[in-house]
Every structure is written in C-alpha cells, then in structure tokens.
Chain A
Amino acid sequence: NAGVTQTPKFQVLKTGQSMTLQCAQDMNHNSMYWYRQDPGMGLRLIYYSASEGTTDKGEVPNGYNVSRLNKREFSLRLESAAPSQTSVYFCASGGRDFTDTQYFGPGTRLTVL
C-alpha cells in the first residue's frame, strides 16, 4: 500500500516549457487535490476532483489544467511555465469530501527559470 505517489520528485523548466505532474493513490479515495506550497507559507489549493470525471478550480487555478484520468490518477499540467510557478506541488487524496482527512504525497519541487 503505497498511499499517494507523485512523479517526478524534482523538475527544472525554462519559461514557456510545459510539463505534467503525475499523482496516483491506491486508497480507493473519491477526492483528490493539487496544492502548491511557497516558501514559509501554507498550502494553497489549485484544483480538486471530488470524484472520477469531475474537476473544480481552487484558490489559484490560473496557469494550470488538470485531468482526473480514473479514480486512482489525477494529473496537473503546466502549459506554459512561468517563474511565478516555482513552488513545491503536493497531491492529496481524501474520502468523501473536504471534511475528511487528506493524505499527502511527498511533493514535486519545481523550479522555473
């Protein structure tokens, strides 16, 4: 039981490049989330998916797109990376909704030059 896994662990991009961050969970959770964490700050929600086939914007969705490929997988895409997107990205999964405990992956450290 691996919990929540994320790939890659580290990535360096140049401004304008695109990339997809992958996330998978094996806990049969309905909800999945993408957050970003900037230095010295808490997490901010980018997008979430309450169930397979649905996605919704969070607090900071601009510059990102997501895909809930199936119940296990939830990917985050940066179409044209910008230096302001330099951050640590965390994927999480949870039960029914936000009232449930969330389980976090180890994070992806992204630097955009």
Chain B
Amino acid sequence: SQQGEEDPQALSIQEGENATMNCSYKTSINNLQWYRQNSGRGLVHLILIRSNEREKHSGRLRVTLDTSKKSSSLLITASRAADTASYFCATDTGRRALTFGSGTRLQVQP
C-alpha cells in the first residue's frame, strides 16, 4: 500500500457538521501537508505540520499529527457546501519527493 493513505475514501455529511479524515503513513517523515482539490481543478495547499508539531489550526481547519502511530487527521469544523472537494495528505520523507495519498472525497449536503 502507499506511504500515505486517507481514510475514509468517501464521506458525506450535512452542512454545519464536522468532517474528520485521517491519513496513515509508513516511514518517518519531515512534515505532512494537506491539500484540497475541487473537481477538475489543481490542488490547493491547506496546512503543513512538521514532525515535531502535534497540532495546528488554520481557520476552521485543525490538523493533528501522531508520529508514534504514524497518522494525521484533518478536522473541518462547521462544514459548508463549498468544502465539497477531495482532500489529500502528502508526506515529505526526505527522499526529495512528496508522496500523495489517494484522497478522501468529501460531499457536504446543503
């Protein structure tokens, strides 16, 4: 399986609810990044968390990193229809490349 794998593959929630998606990885990392991709568009960077950090916030986004479990989670609070997108984690393992997971497709119902 891939270095970064998101879970669940798909998530459908109602507007106003929180959305949580997880990313697991296999080898040690320098940092982990989360990106959003709207349908038919390029990826947009959301947040970067370094290996020595445990939690970061940006607006309605909260990212946690547990290096002992090799996992990260992305929480979107009070979701909006505009949050409908695919979300990818990407890990920097120091091998001169980011490794992207296959993504979580989030659908926020109005």
Question: A40-B102, A42-B88, A98-B92 are known contacts. Are A105 and B42 too (CB-CB below 8 A)?
Answer: yes
Interface size bucket, A side? Answer: 20 to 34
Question: A90-B42, A90-B43, A107-B42 are known contacts. Are A42 and B33 too (CB-CB below 8 A)?
Answer: no
In the complex, per-residue mask of B6-42: 1 if CB is within 8 Å of any chain A CB, else 0: 0000000000000000000000001101000000111
Question: A101-B48, A104-B44 are known contacts. Are A41 and B102 too (CB-CB below 8 A)?
Answer: yes
Instruction: Return chain A residues, CB-CB under 8 Å to B102.
Output: 40-42
Q: Does A106 contact B (CB under 8 A)?
A: yes
Q: Does A64 contact B (CB under 8 A)?
A: no
Q: Which 3 A-B pairs have the closest CB atoms?
A: A42-B100, A104-B42, A43-B100
Known: A42-B103, A90-B43. 16 other contacts (CB 8 A): A4-B42, A40-B102, A42-B100, A43-B43, A43-B88, A45-B97, A45-B98, A56-B96, A59-B97, A92-B42, A98-B92, A99-B30, A102-B33, A102-B43, A104-B43, A106-B41
Residues of B within 8 A of A (CB): 2, 4, 30-31, 33, 40-45, 48, 88, 90, 92, 96-103
